[in-house]
Amino acid sequence: MTPVHLAGPRLAMREVEPEDTDDLLAVYGDPEATRHLSFEPRTREQVQAITDRSIAAANASPRTEYCLAITRLGEHRLIGYARLATEPQEAATIGFALHQAEWGKGLGTETVHLLCALGFNVLGLHRIWAARSPLNKASARTLLRAGMTEDGRIRDHVFVRGAWRDSITYSILEHEWAPIDGLDTTSALDRSAAPPGGETVPGR
C-alpha cells in the first residue's frame, strides 16, 4: 500500500489509523453531523468497524476505496472523514463529513477540492460524483462552490430512519475542475510524516 497524503491551503488528508476512532466518533456519533447522511449516528463500536474497514480498504489490491482522515494542515488530529470509491468507466463517488466545530469556514469546499485532486491528479479519473439528501443545504452549496454541477435526482436512493429517501446528485468532469487558489498538490509538507514510500500528489 502506498499511503496517500494530500495537502491543501488549510487541510490535509492522510490514511486512517486505529487511533482515529474517538475523533471519528465525534463526527459520526453526532446527530447534527449525521442528520442528512444515509445512516443514523454511529456507536463507538460501529465507528471502530469503520476505522478497521478503512484500513483494510487501504491495503486492498487493487485499491478501489480511499477512506481518508481530514486534518488541519500540519496537524495530526482527525477533524473529518472523506471517502472516494472508484467505479468502472474512470469514475468515482465521494462522500465527506467534518466535525461540527469546523463548519462554515470554507473547509468543506476545500475537502471536495482535495478529493478532486485525488481523483483527477492521482488516479487519472474522468468523472467524480456525489449524492446528498434533498434537505442537505450545506452540502448543496458546498458541492456547487467546489465546481460541481447538479445532475438530477435518484428516487428512493437510500433507506434511512425507517423510510426511503431520494438523493440529489452532482458531478464534475476532469476538464471542468479548477483547483482553488493555494491548493498545492505538489506540496511535500506531509512527506516528513510519511512512512518510507509515502507519496504526495503530483501536480496537475
Q: Residue 90 has what DSSP assignment?
A: T
Nearer to ligand COA (CB atom), residue 147 or residue 201: 147
Size of the site for ligand COA (CB under 6 A): 23
81, 96, 120, 129: which one binds ligand COA (CB under 6 A): 96
Nearer to ligand COA (CB atom), residue 67 or residue 97: 97
User: Residue 96 CB: number of other CB atoms within 10 A?
Assistant: 22
Question: Residues 73, 79: contact at Cβ < 8 Å?
Answer: no
- Per-residue string for binding with ligand COA, 119-148, x by CB under 6 A? -----------x-x---xxxx-xx--x---
CA pair distance 78, 56, nearest whole angstrom:
18
CB of 9 to ligand COA, least distance (A): 12
Question: Residues 126, 173: contact at Cβ < 8 Å?
Answer: yes
CB of 52 to ligand COA, least distance (A): 21
CB of 22 to ligand COA, least distance (A): 18
The phi and psi torsions of 34 (rounded to 5 degrees) equal -100, 5
18, 74, 104, 134: which one binds ligand COA (CB under 6 A): 104
Residues 45-84 that bind ligand COA (CB under 6 A): none
Nearer to ligand COA (CB atom), residue 14 or residue 132: 132
DSSP labels, 122-172: IS--SEEEEEE-TT-HHHHHHHHHTT-EEEEEEEEEEEETTEEEEEEEEEE
The phi and psi torsions of 108 (rounded to 5 degrees) equal -65, -45
Selected range binding ligand COA among 71-79, 98-106, 171-179, 193-201, rule: CB under 6 A: 98-106
Question: Residues 93, 112: contact at Cβ < 8 Å?
Answer: no
Nearer to ligand COA (CB atom), residue 27 or residue 200: 27
Residues at the site binding ligand COA, with contacts judged by CB under 6 A:
33, 36-37, 95-98, 103-109, 130, 132, 136-139, 141-142, 145
